[in-house]
Amino acid sequence: MHLLLCGHGYLGQAISREFLDAGWKVTTLSKSGEGADQACDLSSQDSVAALEKSVTAPDFIVHCAASGRGGEEAYRAVYLDGCSHLIDVFHGVPMLFTSSTSVYPQTDGAAVTEESPAEPDRETGRILRAAEKVVLNHEGIVFRLSGIYGPHRSVILRKFLAGDATLEEDGQRILNQIHRDDAARAVLQAALGYCGPGIWNVSDSHPTSQLDTYAGLAEMFAKPMPPSAPRDLNRKRGWTHKQVDNSKLRQSGWTPRHPSFLGAAKEIAATL
């Protein structure tokens, strides 16, 4: 079996390891073509079309390329155009697109499932939704990932340990996260047929308020609570307050090895 992995960054590298360990052949793409990656600009129809001659026909495609720090133009090029070009060139090959739970705009703290309204108020979110629809219209799989953390990466933990974190108002905003390796295992599970076409929330099992998260970290690392500050309404993907429900994914047979961020915090802190 052959995986065409479009995007070989933090998440992509973990996905590649999971598939290789499962006996798959993996072809990795990146825009720069660094290392063993094949260079491919997903925003270019010609660049994607050239893959037909340079790579073995894939059995499964994963789009997990990142937009970097770009805005609307980068989102459109990488996500919307990238998905469209891959589907046009490899028509009929099952494809999984890693989207984001940021497409859920809810601000009332309610639980959100795959059936909940996803009508983002930011243009970047609307572009993600457009890319999702392209994939879904071709019987593809959309994984909506919560905030990714893992070895060497956790914005929340890094800021807390450095003393740079702030508590937004009363700290009631819910934080939804997913360990990188749990997300990668879910992608392999989808390729093996356990997750069919459609939308799937990929999040851990314990959404936790900002207040409870920092209280847990303060006790764990014997540090003071962060000071209060106003809401950051200028967040790139918008300010939301919701609990992402992962029941559908768990019912497929996936179980997170890291069901909560606080449970993994000490392990992650040692890598930062």
Domains identified in the chain, total number: 1
- Give the pLDDT of residue 233: 62
Contacts of 93 (CB under 8 A, 6+ apart): 4, 57, 58, 59, 60, 61
Question: Longest Cα pair distance anywhere in the chain, in angstroms?
Answer: 58
- Give the pLDDT of residue 33: 87
CA–CA gap between residue 6 and residue 12 (Å, rounded): 8
Tell me if 219 is assigned to some domain.
no
- Strand ranges, E, within the chain: 2-6, 25-30, 38-39, 60-63, 95-100, 111-112, 141-145, 147-149, 167-168, 174-175, 177-179, 198-202, 208-209, 228-229, 243-244
Tell me if 126 is assigned to some domain.
yes
Tell me if 213 is assigned to some domain.
no
pLDDT above 90 for 70: no
Tell me if 27 is assigned to some domain.
yes
Tell me if 188 is assigned to some domain.
yes
The mean pLDDT value of the chain amounts to 95
When pLDDT is averaged across residues 61-85 and rounded to a whole number, the result is 93
User: For residue range 198-212, what is the model confidence (pLDDT) as tens digits?
Assistant: 999 999 999 999 999
In three-state secondary structure terms, 62 is strand
Tell me if 162 is assigned to some domain.
no
* Under 8 Å between Cβ of 202 and 146: yes
Give the confidence band of 267 by pLDDT, cuts at 50, 70, 90.
Answer: very high
> Nearest Cα to 62, choosing from 167, 171, 140?
140
Give the confidence band of 67 by pLDDT, cuts at 50, 70, 90.
Answer: confident
Would the pTM of this model clear 0.85, i.e. be above it? yes
User: For residue range 153-197, what is the model confidence (pLDDT) as tens digits?
Assistant: 999 999 999 999 999 988 999 999 999 999 999 999 999 999 999
Tell me if 193 is assigned to some domain.
yes
Tell me if 216 is assigned to some domain.
no
Helices 210-221 and 261-269 sit at what angle, rounded to 10 degrees?
Answer: 40
> Nearest Cα to 78, choosing from 200, 58, 86?
86
Give the confidence band of 89 by pLDDT, cuts at 50, 70, 90.
Answer: very high
- The domain in which residue 30 lies consists of 2-153+177-205+243-256
pLDDT above 70 for 237: no
- The CATH number of whichever domain residue 63 belongs to comes to 3.40.50.720
Instruction: Among 79-83, 130-134, 194-198, 234-238, name the one with the lowest average pLDDT.
Output: 234-238
